[in-house]
Structure 1
Amino acid sequence: MGDKPRGFRGSRSWIGCVEAGLCLDYFGGPQGRLCHIPRGAGLQGELERLYSHFAGGGGPVMVGGDVDAQSKALLGVCLGPGTEAYVLVLDPHCWGAPKTPSELQVAGWVGWREVCTTFDPNSFYNLCLTSHNSEKQLHAQD
């Protein structure tokens, strides 16, 4: 796409959410909306937006950070009483076809995680919210 140095192609270097969003656009994939969270502690303030994203039919949310370099894909949000909140996290390194859906949980590839322990409060995060509903859904979240 021209945004990386010549030696990047064919390398084993990683890309982040910003680049993943660019790839979605460049290769004609689902629409992606980037959301920057300066500190993980601020993610609590984005839970309503994430909930609305999923409730409106939005697709997986790619997550990348700096201090917390463990990539994640969010598949859902569960808001509890008070500040209690959980996200359904899929490890994007998961590969292969499971024999049963529970096999993914048992192997630790997918599971509900408490927001306050899943995100480092000192790390920034980039979220790429994917949507197959194009512009209509993306602007409904503003």
Structure 2
Amino acid sequence: MGDKSPGFRGSQSWIGCVEASLCLDYFGGPQGRLCHIPRGAGLQGELEKLYSHFAGGGGPVMVGGDADAQSKALLGVCLGPGTEAYVLVLDPHFWGDPKNPSELQAGGWVGWREVGTAFDPNSFYNLCLTSRNSQHQQDALD
């Protein structure tokens, strides 16, 4: 796409959410909207936006961070009473055909995690919220 040096091609270097968003646009995939969270502790304040994203038909949310280099994708948000909140986290490294959803859960590939333990409070995060209908997604997030 021209955003990296020639030595990047064929390397084993990782891309982040910003590059993933550029790839989605370049290759005609779903629309990707970037959201920067300066510290993981601030994610609690973004949960309503994430909830609106999923409730409005938004797709998976790719997550990248600095101190937290563990790849993850968010598939849902569950807001409980008070400050209780959970995110449905998918480890994007899974490959193959699972026999059933229980196999994914038992292997730790997907599961509900409390927001306070799913994100490093001191790491920044970039979120790439995907949607096929970017205007509907924009309305839900504003």
For normalisation by structure 2, the TM-score amounts to 0.97
Kindly state the Cα deviation for residue 71 of structure 1 after the two structures are TM-superposed: 1.0
> For residues 17-56 of structure 1, what are the structure 2 equivalents within 5 Å?
17-56=17-56
User: How many angstroms apart in 2 are the aligned matches of 1:137 and 1:121?
Assistant: 27
Contact 1:62 1:74 in 2 (8 A): yes
Residues 1:108 and 2:124 are matched in the alignment: no
What amino acid sits opposite 2:104 in the alignment?
A: L
The residue number in structure 1 matching 2:14 is 14
Give the CA deviation at 1:64: 0.3
Q: CA deviation at 1:133?
A: 1.5
1:71 is the counterpart of 2:85: no
Structure 2: gaps (5+ residues) = none
Give the residue type in structure 2 aligned to 1:101.
Answer: P
| 4+ residue runs over 2 A deviation | 134-140
Cα displacement string for residues 4-23 of structure 1 (whole angstroms, at most 9, x for unaligned residues): 11011111110000000000
Aligned length: 142
CA RMSD, Structure 1 to Structure 2 (Å):
0.8
Give the Cα–Cα distance (whole angstroms) in 2 for the partners of residues 101 and 41 of structure 1. 30
| AA partner of residue 23 (structure 2) | C
- Structure-2 separation of matches of 1:49 and 1:110: 22
Q: Is the CA contact 2:40–2:122 (under 8 Å) kept in the aligned structure 1?
A: yes
The one-letter amino acid of 2:87's match is V
Residue range with higher mean Cα deviation, 132-141 or 98-107: 132-141
Letter in structure 1 aligned against 2:129: L
- Aligned AA (1:12): Q
Q: Is it true that 1:126 corresponds to 2:135 in the alignment?
A: no
Looking at structure 2, the residues matched to 134 and 97 of structure 1 have their Cα atoms a distance apart, in angstroms, of 30
Task: Give identity over the alignment, percent.
Answer: 87
